[in-house]
């Protein structure tokens, strides 16, 4: 947000990249001319409901190891959560992706990000399935709409 690079920003970007790879989707999906949804906003509720196969890239045709997909999605979402101080380090990300420690993976699965009801009430600013930043409204002024129509008319 401050325009400064940090390890936390790198972790976030890596999480988004993992989500793109696993789902085959772009980071922001256009739902309507004025509304967009983030990839995390789409994937997090499905992961919270253990619907990992619904997040998987359809081009995979179900040809993946369910446990590996689950691990990639959990790691991706923990990296891309809104609160930088709760993101893992890249060293921890590598350890989690290797999957050597069943204990660390279990801790990841039990993280409050994936179990919003366990943490009691939703705290303001927390990254949950209902997070308001999951949908991006694009209210365009009349000038922008005129420009878009003009651009569209020239390209047709």
Could you tell me the CATH number of the domain that includes residue 47?
1.10.510.10
Structure token pair of residue 77: 């979402």
Look up the domain containing 88 and give its range: 7-114
Distance of CA 38 to the CA centre of its chain: 7
Structure token pair of residue 10: 């790198």
**Picking from 6-10, 27-31, 118-122, which range would have the lowest pLDDT averaged per residue?**
118-122
Asked whether residue 152 is assigned to any structural domain, the reply reads no
Check whether 130 has a pLDDT greater than 50. no
Of 81, 74, 135, give the one whose Cα is nearest residue 99: 74
Non-local CB neighbours of 140 within 8 Å, separated by 6+ positions? 33, 34, 148
Give residue 112's region: left, alpha or beta (phi > 0; psi -120 to 50): alpha
C-alpha to C-alpha distance for 26 and 17, rounded to whole angstroms: 9
Query: Given this model, what pLDDT does residue 95 score?
Result: 93
Q: Are strands 28-32 and 135-137 parallel, antiparallel or unpaired?
A: unpaired
Name the 3-class secondary structure at 35. strand
Asked whether residue 151 is assigned to any structural domain, the reply reads no
Distance of CA 92 to the CA centre of its chain: 18
Asked whether residue 56 is assigned to any structural domain, the reply reads yes
68-89 residue pLDDT tens: 999 999 999 999 999 999 999 9
Q: Would you give the DSSP letter of residue 155?
A: H
**Picking from 37-46, 112-121, 137-146, which range would have the lowest pLDDT averaged per residue?**
137-146
Query: How many folded domains does the chain comprise?
Result: 1
């Amino acid at each position: 947000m401050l325009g400064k690079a940090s390890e936390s920003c790198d972790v976030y970007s890596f999480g988004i990249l993992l989500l793109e790879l696993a789902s085959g989707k772009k980071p922001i999906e256009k739902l309507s001319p004025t509304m967009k949804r983030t990839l995390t906003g789409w994937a997090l509720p499905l992961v919270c409901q253990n619907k990992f196969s619904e997040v998987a890239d359809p081009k995979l045709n179900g040809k993946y190891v369910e446990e590996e997909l689950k691990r990639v999605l959990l790691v991706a979402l923990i990296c891309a959560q809104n609160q930088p101080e709760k993101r893992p380090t890249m060293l921890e990300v590598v350890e989690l992706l290797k999957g050597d420690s069943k204990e660390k993976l279990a801790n990841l699965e039990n993280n409050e990000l994936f179990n919003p009801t366990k943490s009691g009430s939703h705290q303001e600013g927390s990254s949950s399935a209902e997070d308001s930043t999951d949908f991006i409204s694009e209210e365009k002024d009349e000038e922008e709409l005129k420009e878009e129509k003009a651009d569209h008319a020239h390209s047709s």
